[in-house]
């Protein structure tokens, strides 16, 4: 029998049944590779050169040729149309979403808080009110806006109904935000002056809605000038600003301090929304210390480098942290009164 030169090896081979280029066994389909290994195993039992005319090789060749060829899959035109329609709609039609993004930081001690009839003391540092930018209820958000927000990495895209009640108009929402801001300022004044030991008179009166509410009369006027900002989240910082201005003690000690949180007349600090964006805004504005409501600790997933977060439950705890930062515990652990 005429012997042929070997055409097949375990590592690199030429397809003995066609004109495929040289490939490794690992690059073949598993079924074809199994057939080739079967051929190699059969021929390895003999000491002679590789023969491809034996019955097993002819059977392998027949089985090889029976495998169906891989054909490209055609996407139905209806599927392409639907995908294109939805993509075009997201670009041309507004979507029911709202975007939240880190805002800025404003020093409330500079010009925002004024107490004209009392002696105030200069601060050795900054006390920042941090904000979050939110698209208004009437904003038209398109697919491109959402895509840019996702790429930005610092913005949050939420369904509009999560932020703004569907049953309320833009005018109603703006009015509520303004009222919440004014209420937070009033509570900040009362809690700060109470902490400092000033006498505040209280009386029960009927408001415009016919409800009996508690009215506070301050011993002297305090003005907080803040425009184009709504909501109650500035209460803690307003109270700290008043305490700082009326105290001879240096609380800031050259630091830039930021914070957030609602406050009531008794000095209790409550949670707010958008805590993550406010941490970013604070660090961008140069803050090294951030005072956060203790109830927001579970919402803090990321703290920018160079920023220490102290959780507080009351105005008294917040002042204590500023006085004794070296002995206070950061990383959102509850503070003890010192």
pLDDT digit string, tens, across residues 92-116: 566 667 777 788 899 999 989 999 9
Positive/negative CA dihedral, 240, 338, 291, 308 = positive
* 175 touches 201 (CB < 8 A): no
Where does the pLDDT of residue 178 fall: very low under 50, low under 70, confident under 90, or very high at 90 and above?
confident
Instruction: Indicate whether 296 belongs to any domain.
Output: yes
Q: What is the pLDDT of residue 1?
A: 44
Q: What is the pLDDT of residue 328?
A: 66
Residue 244 has pLDDT above 50, yes or no: yes
Residue 19 has pLDDT above 80, yes or no: no
Same domain, 235 and 279: yes
Residue 171 has pLDDT above 60, yes or no: yes
Instruction: Indicate whether 316 belongs to any domain.
Output: yes
Count how many domains the chain has. 2
Output phi, psi for 230, to 5 deg. -130, 170
Same domain, 51 and 111: no
Host domain of residue 299: 97-140+159-323
Q: Give the tens place of pLDDT for each residue, 128-138.
A: 999 887 777 77
Same domain, 251 and 213: yes
Instruction: Indicate whether 24 belongs to any domain.
Output: yes
Residue 33 has pLDDT above 80, yes or no: no
Q: What is the pLDDT of residue 192?
A: 97
Residue 4 has pLDDT above 70, yes or no: no
Average pLDDT, the chain: 76
Q: What is the pLDDT of residue 153?
A: 66
Same domain, 174 and 307: yes
- Partners of 107 in the β-ladder: 128
Same domain, 219 and 302: yes
Same domain, 60 and 107: no
Residue 288 has pLDDT above 70, yes or no: yes
Same domain, 34 and 124: no
Same domain, 114 and 209: yes
Same domain, 259 and 222: yes
User: Where is pLDDT greater, at 316 or 20?
Assistant: 316
Instruction: Indicate whether 152 belongs to any domain.
Output: no
The token pair that represents 257 in the structure block: 């301090």
Residue 6 has pLDDT above 50, yes or no: no
- Min mean pLDDT across 44-48, 140-144, 255-259 is at 44-48
283: CATH: 3.30.230
Instruction: Indicate whether 80 belongs to any domain.
Output: no
Same domain, 207 and 304: yes
Residue 167 has pLDDT above 70, yes or no: yes
Instruction: Indicate whether 338 belongs to any domain.
Output: no
Same domain, 35 and 131: no
Instruction: Indicate whether 1 belongs to any domain.
Output: yes
Distance between CA atoms of 273 and 162, rounded to whole angstroms? 11
User: 256-259 and 126-134 as β-strands: parallel, antiparallel, unpaired?
Assistant: parallel
Instruction: Indicate whether 333 belongs to any domain.
Output: no
Same domain, 34 and 117: no
Share of residues in the chain with pLDDT > 90 (%): 40
User: Where is pLDDT greater, at 26 or 171?
Assistant: 171
Residue 89 has pLDDT above 60, yes or no: no
Where does the pLDDT of residue 16 fall: very low under 50, low under 70, confident under 90, or very high at 90 and above?
very low
Residue 17 has pLDDT above 60, yes or no: no
Q: Give the tens place of pLDDT for each residue, 150-164.
A: 676 677 777 777 777
- Min mean pLDDT across 10-14, 131-135, 270-274, 295-299 is at 10-14
Q: Residue by residue, what is the 3-state secondary structure of the chain? A: CCCCCCCCCCCCECCCCCCCCCECHHHCCHHHHHHHHHHHHHHHCCCCCCCCCCHHHHHHHHHHHHCCCCCCCCCCHHHHHHHHHHHHHHHHCCECEEEEEEEEEEEHHHHHEECCCCCCCCCCCEEEEEEEEECCCCCCECHHHHHHHHHHCCCEEEEHHHHCCCCCCHHHHHHHHHHHHHHHHHHHHHHHHHHHCCCCEEEEEECCCCCEEEEEECCCCCEECCCCCCCCCCHHHHHHHHHHHCCCCCCCCCCEEEECCEECCCCEEECCCCHHHHHHHHHHCCCCEEEEEHHHHHHCCCCCCCCEEEEECEHHHHHHHHHCCCCCCCCCCCCCCC
Mean pLDDT of 221-247: 92
């Amino acid at each position: 029998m005429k012997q042929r030169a070997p055409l097949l090896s375990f590592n690199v081979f030429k397809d003995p049944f066609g004109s495929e280029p040289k490939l490794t066994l690992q690059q073949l389909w598993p079924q074809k590779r199994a057939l080739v290994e079967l051929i190699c195993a059969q021929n390895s039992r003999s000491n002679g050169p590789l023969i491809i005319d034996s019955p097993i090789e002819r059977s392998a060749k027949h089985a090889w040729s029976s495998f169906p060829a891989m054909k490209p899959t055609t996407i139905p035109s209806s599927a392409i149309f639907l995908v294109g329609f939805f993509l075009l709609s997201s670009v041309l039609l507004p979507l029911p979403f709202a975007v939240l993004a880190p805002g800025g930081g404003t020093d409330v001690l500079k010009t925002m808080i004024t107490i004209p009839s009392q002696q105030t003391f200069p601060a050795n540092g900054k006390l920042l009110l941090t904000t979050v930018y939110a698209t208004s209820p009437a904003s038209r958000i398109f697919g491109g806006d959402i895509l840019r927000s996702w790429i930005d990495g610092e913005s949050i895209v939420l369904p509009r109904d999560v932020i703004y009640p569907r049953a309320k108009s833009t005018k109603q929402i703006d009015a509520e935000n303004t009222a919440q801001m004014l209420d937070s300022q009033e509570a900040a004044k009362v809690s700060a002056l109470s902490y400092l030991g000033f006498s505040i008179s209280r009386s029960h009166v009927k408001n415009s809605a016919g409800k009996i509410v508690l009215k506070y009369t301050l011993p002297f006027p305090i003005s907080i000038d803040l425009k184009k900002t709504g909501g109650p989240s500035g209460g803690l910082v307003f109270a700290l600003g008043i305490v700082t201005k009326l105290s001879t003690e240096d609380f800031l000690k050259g630091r830039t301090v930021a914070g957030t949180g609602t406050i009531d007349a008794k000095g209790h600090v409550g949670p707010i929304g958008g805590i993550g964006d406010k941490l970013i805004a604070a660090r961008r504005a140069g803050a090294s210390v951030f005072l956060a409501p203790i109830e927001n600790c579970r919402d803090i997933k990321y703290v920018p480098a160079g920023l220490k977060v102290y959780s507080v439950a009351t105005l008294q705890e917040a002042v204590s942290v500023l006085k004794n930062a070296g002995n206070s515990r950061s990383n959102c652990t509850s503070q003890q009164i010192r």
